[in-house]
Amino acid sequence: MAPKKGLLQRLNEGVVIGDGGFVFALEKRGYVKAGPWTPEATVENPEAVRQLHREFLRAGADVMQAFTFYASDDKLSNRGNESSKKYTCRGINDAACHLAREVAEEGNGLVAGGLSQTPTYLSGLGKENTQKEFQRQVDVFVENKVDFLIAEYFEHVEEIEWAIEVCLKSGLPVVASMCIGPEGDLHGIPAGECAVKMAKAGAHVVGINCHFDPFVTLEGLKKMKAALDAASIKVHLIAQPLAYLTPDAHKQGFIDLPEFPFALESRICTRWEMHRYAREAYNLGVRYIGGCCGFEPYHIRAVAEELATERGMLPKASEKHEPWAGGLKMHTKPWVRARATRNYWETLKPSSGRPYCSSMSKPDNWGVTAGDSILKQKTEATSEAEISQLRTKAKTVNGV
Amino acid sequence: MAPKKGLLQRLNEGVVIGDGGFVFALEKRGYVKAGPWTPEATVENPEAVRQLHREFLRAGADVMQAFTFYASDDKLSNRGNESSKKYTCRGINDAACHLAREVAEEGNGLVAGGLSQTPTYLSGLGKENTQKEFQRQVDVFVENKVDFLIAEYFEHVEEIEWAIEVCLKSGLPVVASMCIGPEGDLHGIPAGECAVKMAKAGAHVVGINCHFDPFVTLEGLKKMKAALDAASIKVHLIAQPLAYLTPDAHKQGFIDLPEFPFALESRICTRWEMHRYAREAYNLGVRYIGGCCGFEPYHIRAVAEELATERGMLPKASEKHEPWAGGLKMHTKPWVRARATRNYWETLKPSSGRPYCSSMSKPDNWGVTAGDSILKQKTEATSEAEISQLRTKAKTVNGV
Amino acid sequence: MAPKKGLLQRLNEGVVIGDGGFVFALEKRGYVKAGPWTPEATVENPEAVRQLHREFLRAGADVMQAFTFYASDDKLSNRGNESSKKYTCRGINDAACHLAREVAEEGNGLVAGGLSQTPTYLSGLGKENTQKEFQRQVDVFVENKVDFLIAEYFEHVEEIEWAIEVCLKSGLPVVASMCIGPEGDLHGIPAGECAVKMAKAGAHVVGINCHFDPFVTLEGLKKMKAALDAASIKVHLIAQPLAYLTPDAHKQGFIDLPEFPFALESRICTRWEMHRYAREAYNLGVRYIGGCCGFEPYHIRAVAEELATERGMLPKASEKHEPWAGGLKMHTKPWVRARATRNYWETLKPSSGRPYCSSMSKPDNWGVTAGDSILKQKTEATSEAEISQLRTKAKTVNGV
Amino acid sequence: MAPKKGLLQRLNEGVVIGDGGFVFALEKRGYVKAGPWTPEATVENPEAVRQLHREFLRAGADVMQAFTFYASDDKLSNRGNESSKKYTCRGINDAACHLAREVAEEGNGLVAGGLSQTPTYLSGLGKENTQKEFQRQVDVFVENKVDFLIAEYFEHVEEIEWAIEVCLKSGLPVVASMCIGPEGDLHGIPAGECAVKMAKAGAHVVGINCHFDPFVTLEGLKKMKAALDAASIKVHLIAQPLAYLTPDAHKQGFIDLPEFPFALESRICTRWEMHRYAREAYNLGVRYIGGCCGFEPYHIRAVAEELATERGMLPKASEKHEPWAGGLKMHTKPWVRARATRNYWETLKPSSGRPYCSSMSKPDNWGVTAGDSILKQKTEATSEAEISQLRTKAKTVNGV
């Protein structure tokens, strides 16, 4: 059997489909705690992590991203989190790599080791300390022979440049993806410039993940593409947006929305919105197309179905999903069978069932970023008194 | 070790939490086809079914309902479905019982075997033929020593009376649950009268599942309770509603909504709405409280957390979910930590992010019910020409 | 020239179109103060009152209702209002009759003198005192030879029965109209029973005005009609609803909505909704069809255009309004000319341009009614301290 | 008595409040036909025009703009309009000037004669023909000794430059106002450049009217101000926006919205939105602040009340409107008295009462502009066949 093709070869030859975000999916399944969002489930409940990998593989994902999000030592022990003490950074990352590899081998999947932004950077502790956090994770990824590295979910281009620098030493392909929108990074650096900086730092694939919905994310990618073209830089593009609609989010994305993270349901994209996302991303030239928070396996399946012609195949899970609602032909009710057409679903504007709710929210806009003292992270759990102070500030800032 | 307490003892002593619906959850995970909605996954992908059972157990469910929804022979071969031919009705039901039992034994769970309405009834083929379909499933449930039977998802009280008659012969406790709203069954029999008929037919627990949101469902249960009280009948009540908000649905429930089944996302209940549901159901006197289509494990966890005092315990999955958003105290962003309060989430009105969508839909209202020729089911797959005819009728009926 | 036909003859022979409400229309034009809502403009700015009468006549109204709303002595001096002192009850009512008569003579209009509910009743001062207030107005109406009397805007059937008793002594036809919805009067008397009581008290025409939108109002009228039919009583029906959509209002109508009275704009009915209202009212058997608060002349024109065949004529103002948007054929922009069709406007669902607003509000529901001490009216102006107390109570009642 | 101060002196010394648009207000009152929108009412129903002038004067308007909108000969005879034949261009304009002067003399008002864009320009008939149309109106204005001229409602800066050229020959102050948004004119010329062009053509006041809501209009004015500042040009600014909220309108403004012109009700601004508009306009440096289509007298009153300190007086109509809902202190219902506070109305988000409607619309976007053959105007009435063709094109363009 021929060896698997690597990431860059696949991107050169066609399109690569990413998986969806694990923290939100596993929070709903009962294995991740919203707040810290750390991935100790790789040790505690490996069967749940394995099953989610399988579902994404089955849905068409080409990449099994090891569940190492926020698995840096400083995050695992931030604000009362005891995951680091109980399982160690190494233990969690190692288990994650094993699970991803196990499922990847069930198909033709690649394994990626992932880094994300650190409390160390946010607290202003400098390049050396920040890179140490990255290095500890990369060491485990290299030992586990992952296929490539992905630095993702960075709000500041400075920090991701430091991450790229660490990653490149591994010799593996490096994907770099920031959680920014069309307005750029939290220090005010435009999206296009962020892309150029990541590429110049050596990343092989650059782009955007998380924080904004598919369509806002693609607006950001348009700016990145324009800036890369203007600088005559050739790299691949990656898009891994939210599955939550965020037309009303400002610079800091869905975290600012009042519904984050426990009342986002009504913003969840339909599969048909994912068809549109996949097509628009592809047309823009993006070749690594996946998802982040909110993506469930059926969202990735919709991406894979939209790109079935380009990829020359349907995903395994399409056995249970005929294109464009064809399965409804088998429904018992005739008026539901009448919906078994593409046009019906493409033009439908879904209602919310929420007559007391509006369509847009006013986001929190605290306007603070790395370097601001209120963003200093710490090991101790947050007290009630501190929460109460924050509530007061929230009322002041939002004027309510 | 003492034997497990049975369903009726548990209901007499306190509250029993049901699980959520499997067909919608597994459709999103890639294992069930929307349209036929049949449970051949019990044979094809047992690991996925097992994992979902585990998540509900972990979330606090006391019942593992074997995944036998729509697993009657006539449904497994309706309109081009080949599941019956490939796996047999017996094979699918048997595998379902094994999976449910396996996970139930991991905790203190009960196993239920479930029946639902049949194409045979809908096509007007009479009592004898309909009961034959039920008997085939009940035989497998008895062989597998399930703890009780549940006849659920019936639109016509006549058919569920026939089902109860079959179930009672097993000697097991019988739960009877119709998919109706406050307006009653599809033949115009009021909700209260349906309850009385089910109880008189011998069901030990009666109530409502599917088709309407938690709050509309409880309106229906209020009518049932009033009628049972008026008739001096003592039975337990069950509620297993949708996790989709349906204030705009008419008599036939969410199936009539234009968003059914592929664009219901923005109607999904939040966990806080489930807290409210659990409390209101409990206060009304409902003691079997679970969910149906749309319920994910975190929705059942919310029910279990709301009733933690009554049950004297929190579910296992609450390890990953501090009550009322407490986990947000560990979030990196201070304005998100400010949301770690009950009042914030109880009063929030979530926005949809969909400014081009309305809050209410006009449902299809074909007004047809059992006995109507357009509802005759058949074995052959539906043709394009038939779908086209239905589209035309839909336009006429809906006046668009 | 033959004498004008009277109200009852007109109703027996066909349909009578009422005018719209004056207080809201003249508030927007700058002549009525929201809060007291009293009609001293008849003395202060007769040209403005006259012009509004003319516009309604031109729009098709058959009735010029003298602008005597809330023009009882007790209301004209309630809570700091000095209108009674400055202009006297008699002066205001007399001027109102002159203005209505003047314009009625420009066409074929009838003049009606109107009574409405009194602070005296609300403050629990008894039948004799309440009827004295009515008598003072009726005396002026009789002197001015109005064509009929209309007792309207009563929340309690008891008070309107007292008003009818006073009116009947004049020998004129009496119309009696309550500002209630399908739930009935504020003392809990069902809508149907209210109708029967008004008819038995001697009113020649009974029905509903104000407080609810056209469609909710017609629900109330359906109940009235059913009760009258059941009691074999033959009287004519009147509907004069709001031009504000109020699907979310509870028993007390639009006054409870948080938008009352200064942010109701987005609830204003379109002319096409008025077409539908007129048709549904006519089909229900209502023969006196007009409007109340929010109705502008173009709303009455729409009613008259919808009933043009029944009335055998179009209103004068239709010179400036071709049926069903025909005037758009003369628009400069071709895509606006494309809208010159009935179907376009009948099926359009108008957007609000308000993405941060919801479609429904939670009404205030203080649940107080006549007899409750908080409803005692008084002559002195309300103090800031009293307003502040009310704000506190509002927060408590509404739980915000 | 000292002579009245002129426009420019008033602008130099403080703020000038304009009136509202006449065509929409009088359409609702029954005197203007939507479609042609021409002002023959000045001859046909002078009392209605006079009354509306009075209401705006009373509401605080400093300018009585003669009702000469679209009163050019070519418009008065476009597409079957017979106003030109019946009343002549001269007759209509002359009557308009008389009415405006009559009411202006009742207070301290200025009279303006107004020009707007012409079918001649839209049909591509060139500068000479277009200016001839303007000249005919200006001649009447000069004869009537109006206080200044206002060229408004121009979609193409080229045409308004031609109009300014004609106006300047009169020796009167010239206001120039385009109906554009932040995206600029319909030939793609940016808003800022339009302002510079108008100023360089000699206009003393430049700005924007109609087509967009107050807040979108101010976005356009910000661009104008920036460009004028950059060019070191000193002129006054004018804003006369719609009273309809249009966040979803594209380049061509509210005309493209599907609700135009007969279903705009739910977009109408509240008085509180007008307070905000007036404040933001003033803060931006705009000194001629008025309104256009949709503005009713109470909207202008809100502008005047917001600027009462700057102007040193309240308008006459404020006799019937205490600031910030103070009149509600006299309401009979205590929960309405509780709303007599500024904070209540400033923070209220009004609901629409329309649960089947969305908050945003998809505008028509035909993308045609002057020079396009489909925009050729003509004298003959539009036929049904032509309308039918346009409907077909509308469906194609909008993809529905």
ipTM score of complex: 0.95
- pLDDT score of B173 more than 60: yes
Q: State the average pLDDT over residues C271-277.
A: 98
- Could you tell me which chain C residue has the CA closest to the CA of A362? C356
Give the mean pLDDT of D30-45. 96
The SS3 of residue D55 is helix
> Dihedrals φ, ψ of C176, to 5°?
-130, 125
Return mean pLDDT, chain B: 94
Residue D142 pLDDT: 98
- Are the Cβ atoms of C359 and B358 closer than 8 angstroms? yes
**Residue type, position D279, single letter:** R
- Please check the confidence at residue D181 and state whether its pLDDT lies above 60: yes
Given a cut of 80, is residue D231 above it in pLDDT? yes
More confident residue, D1 or A375: A375
Residue A211 sits at φ, ψ, to 5 deg, of 65, -30
Residue D3 pLDDT greater than 80, yes or no: no
pLDDT one-digit tens code per residue, C178-188: 999 999 999 99
pLDDT at A233: 98
pLDDT at residue B21 is higher than 80 = yes
Interface residues on C facing B, Cβ-Cβ cutoff 8 A: 347, 349, 355, 358-360, 400
How many Cβ pairs closer than 8 A exist between chain A and B? 343
Quote the pLDDT of residue D378.
79
Chains that touch B (3 or more CB pairs under 8 A): A, C, D
Cβ-contact A205, A236 below 8 angstroms? yes
Instruction: Give Cα separations from B149 to A172, B111, B175, B194 (angstroms).
Output: 56, 9, 6, 19
In this predicted structure, what is the pLDDT of residue B384?
85
Question: Is C358's CB within 8 Å of A357's CB?
Answer: yes
Residues of C in contact with B360 (CB under 8 A): 359
A214's CB contacts (< 8 A; 6+ apart) are A239, A241, A242, A243, A269, A273, A274, A276, A277, A280, A281
Contact: B355, D359; criterion CB under 8 Å? yes
- Considering only CB atoms, which chain A residues are within 8 Å of B320? 27, 30-33
Chain D residues within an 8 Å CB radius of A360 = 359
State residue B1's pLDDT score. 57
pLDDT at B189 over 90: yes
Q: Band of the pLDDT at D84, cuts 50, 70, 90?
A: confident
| Number of Cβ atoms within 10 Å of the Cβ of B54 | 24
* Alpha carbons within 13 A on the beta-carbon side of D319: 13
User: Is the predicted pLDDT of residue D362 greater than 80, yes or no?
Assistant: yes
Chain D residue whose CA is closest to B358 = D358
Residue B83 confidence (pLDDT) = 86
Residue B196: is its pLDDT beyond 60? yes
pLDDT, residue D80, reads 81
> What is the pTM for the complete model shown?
0.94
CB-CB under 8 Å, D353 with C267: yes
Provide the 10 A C-beta neighbour count for residue C330. Answer: 22
CA atoms within 13 A on the CB side of A135: 9
**Token digits for C283?**
């089909």
User: Side-chain half-sphere of A85: how many Cα atoms within 13 Å?
Assistant: 7
Enter the DSSP assignment of C263: S
Contacts of B319 in chain A (CB under 8 A): 33
pLDDT, position A303? 98
At C166, which amino acid appears? V
Residue D116 pLDDT > 70: yes
Average pLDDT on D188-194 reads: 97
State residue C1's pLDDT score.
Answer: 57
Please tell me the least confidently modeled range out of A365-374, B28-37, B388-397, D82-91. A365-374
Of A347, A359, A400, the CB nearest to D359: A359
Least Cα distance to B320 among B339, B338, B297, B341 occurs for B297
Question: C71 is written with which tokens?
Answer: 């023009």
pLDDT band at D118 (very low <50, low <70, confident <90, very high): very high
Please name the member of B54, B321, B337 whose beta carbon is closest to the beta carbon of A387.
Answer: B337
For A360, name the nearest residue in chain C, comparing CA atoms only: C356
Neighbours of chain C (3+ CB pairs under 8 A): A, B, D
Question: Contact, B330 vs A78, CB < 8 A?
Answer: yes
Contacts of D191 (CB under 8 A, 6+ apart): D180, D181, D182, D183, D184, D185, D208, D220, D223, D224, D227
pLDDT, residue C299, reads: 98
Please tell me the predicted confidence (pLDDT) of residue D282.
Answer: 98
* Residue scoring higher pLDDT (B82 or D324): D324
Query: What is the predicted pLDDT for the residue at A1?
Result: 57
- For residue C75, the model assigns a pLDDT of 87
Q: Is the pLDDT of residue B400 over 90?
A: no
pLDDT one-digit tens code per residue, B202-257: 999 999 999 999 999 999 999 999 999 999 999 999 999 999 999 999 999 999 99
Task: Tell me how far apart the alpha carbons of residues D167 and B384 are, in angstroms, rounded to a whole number.
Answer: 67
**What's the whole-number mean pLDDT along residues C143-150?**
98
- C347, C359, C400 ranked by CB distance to B359: nearest: C359
Q: What is the mean pLDDT of residues D214-242?
A: 98
- Counting as low any pLDDT under 50, the low residues of chain A are 400
Å between A360 CA and nearest CA of chain C: 5
By Cβ distance, the residue of D248, D356, D362 closest to B358 is D356
Amino acid found at D283: N
Name the more confident of B82 and A110.
A110
Angle at C393 between CA C388 and CA C399, to 5 degrees: 130
Angstrom CA distances, C228 to C217, C223, D213, D368, stand at 16, 9, 49, 59
Say what the pLDDT of residue B17 is: 98
C-to-D residue pairs, Cβ atoms closer than 8 angstroms: 342
Q: Does the pLDDT at position B123 exceed 90?
A: no
Q: How far apart are CA C286 and CA C303, in angstroms?
A: 13
- How far apart are the C-alpha atoms of B17 and B287, rounded to whole Å? 8
Task: State the fold for domain C8-323.
Answer: TIM Barrel (3.20.20)
Nearest Cβ partner of A355 from D347, D355, D360?
D355
In the prediction, which pLDDT does A54 show?
Answer: 98
pLDDT category at B79 given cuts 50, 70, 90 is confident
What pLDDT is recorded for position A292?
98
Kindly state the average pLDDT of the residues D131-151: 97
CB contact under 8 A, C270 and D262: yes
B248, B356, B362: residue with CB nearest D358 = B356
Written as six digits, the tokens of B154 are: 């019936």
Token pair recorded at residue D283: 């803060």
Nearest to A355 among C354, C355, C358 (CB): C358
* Closest approach of C267 to chain B, Cα-based (Å): 15
Q: List C-alpha distances in Å: C23 to B324, D51, D54.
A: 49, 17, 18
Contacting residues of C for A360, CB less than 8 Å apart: 355-356
